[in-house]
Amino acid sequence: MIRCTAARVDLDALASNFRVIQAHLASEALLNRAAGAGVSRAPGIIAVVKANAYGHGARPVARVLEDAGAVMLAVADIEEGVDLREAGIRAPILVFGALSVSDVSGVFDYRLTPTISSPAAGRALQAAAAERGVTLGYHLKIDTGLNRLGFRHDNLSRTLPELLASAHLRLEAVHTHFGTADDPESPLFEEQRRRFEAACLVVNDLGGGPRLRHAASSAALVRDSRVWYDFVRPGLLLYGLVPPPLHTMLALRPVMSLSSRVVAVKGVRVGEPVGYGARFTAERPTSLAIVPAGYADGLDRRLEGRGVVLVRGRRAPIVGAVSMDVLTVDVTEIAEVNPGDDVVFLGAQGEESWQRIDAREMASWTGTIPYEILCRLGARVQRLY
């Protein structure tokens, strides 16, 4: 059985986005080589599938990206990594999150690659690796200005020697994360780039050796090939969206669409209120389509009066409160709306640009970002692949 409100996850679009990004990396690298600047070898792709692959479903998404040729998959925590291994994923899996207070046995039992972002995490993993008599490869995270996780870039000579001396740990790569890659005006991006490159030299001097480097999430990938280094780490781009306000010429396709169906059409007279709180009052004889989707499905209450859906190829405003399981759409201006008609929240209903809604546009209505729109999609919304 399939509920009216369901998400369709287009795995062909996902594979196509991967190939488009891969081709872009290769052609830019070729151009750079000719010009003698920037990266001259196409970086590998670490495909980010954390948070249930941004709401798309981690297991099927990871399978497609593994087959497409991702050099590594990345998740937020050990639990997400274990889930992928249990699904049969064999590609290397990088765990981004801090592990200082986690049970780290999953790292060993499921062959995950940890990020070490603090001396405490380094000690915990060294002890656990020693106890098992194994050597564990890890990625080192440098904090170059986001001021969240990672070893501060400016006192590595104090904090790193103990980690680098750990007999059971092997440094494989060094990485950082940008705070303002999506803001072309911010000087912090360039500052972080310089700090990262300086930090990599310090790691080298401290005996860490020249290691693989990575730094670029989607925004940085789109914006500046100088920070591609050995690997890039796109998430959002793979799902077919560019982090706002950036744009790209890449032919990406949104992977997720979300739709429902009209379950009833109701006439409302002038002056009659609609929905919880009576916040919408009909100012003309109004025709409402009742749609069985609400905030329990991840649709934001702030869509009331701001968002639209597609019905019969037209845009229709969401009016009245978005409730838990139901919302109402004003279809007065659309002829012949009937129960059973498709209602598109994300996706297309025709070829015109206004007949298409993506998570980036939906995010703009409520003042959030497309990431949140995708991740918030409710657990009860079935994903159809």
Ligand X SMILES: *Cc1c(COP(=O)(O)O)cnc(C)c1O
Active site residue ranges: 50, 276
Return the residue of 44, 235, 240, 320 that touches ligand X, per CB under 6 A: 235
Q: Does 150 bind ligand X (CB under 6 A)?
A: no
Segment near ligand X (CB under 6 A), from 14-22, 79-87, 230-238, 249-257? 230-238
Q: Does 234 bind ligand X (CB under 6 A)?
A: yes
Q: What does the longest C-alpha to C-alpha distance in the chain come to? A: 77
CB of 10 or CB of 304, closer to ligand X: 10
Segment near ligand X (CB under 6 A), from 196-204, 229-237, 272-280, 310-318? 229-237
Residues with Cβ within 8 Å of 220's Cβ and at least 6 positions away in sequence, in order, are 178, 181, 189, 227, 232
Helices 188-203 and 156-164 cross at an angle (nearest 10°) of 50
Q: Does 261 bind ligand X (CB under 6 A)?
A: no
CA-nearest of 297, 293, 354 to 318 is 293
Q: Does 117 bind ligand X (CB under 6 A)?
A: no
Least separation in angstroms between residue 243's CB and ligand X is 6
CA-nearest of 294, 204, 229 to 258 is 294
Least separation in angstroms between residue 50's CB and ligand X is 6
Q: Is 306 exposed, middle or buried (0-12, 13-18, 19+ CB in 10 A)?
A: middle
User: 321 in helix, strand or coil?
Assistant: coil
CA-nearest of 203, 200, 204 to 214 is 200
CB of 177 or CB of 312, closer to ligand X: 177
Total residues at interface with ligand X (CB under 6 A):
12
Q: Does 97 bind ligand X (CB under 6 A)?
A: no
Structure tokens at 84: 């992928």
Least separation in angstroms between residue 88's CB and ligand X is 23
Q: Answer yes or no: are the C-beta atoms of 327 and 291 closer than 8 Å.
A: yes
Q: Does 43 bind ligand X (CB under 6 A)?
A: no
| DSSP H stretches of helix in 36-111 | 50-54, 58-68, 78-86, 105-109
Which helix (H) or strand (E) is 315 found in, with range? strand 314-319
Q: Does 48 bind ligand X (CB under 6 A)?
A: yes
β-bridge mates for residue 72, sequence order: 46
Segment near ligand X (CB under 6 A), from 26-34, 82-90, 122-130, 214-222? 214-222
Q: Does 236 bind ligand X (CB under 6 A)?
A: yes
Least separation in angstroms between residue 170's CB and ligand X is 21
Least separation in angstroms between residue 178's CB and ligand X is 9
CB of 217 or CB of 323, closer to ligand X: 217
CB of 6 or CB of 15, closer to ligand X: 15
Q: Does 96 bind ligand X (CB under 6 A)?
A: yes
**Distance separating alpha carbons of residues 74 and 72, to the nearest angstrom:** 7
Residues within the interface to ligand X (CB under 6 A)? 48, 50, 96, 177, 217-219, 233-236, 243
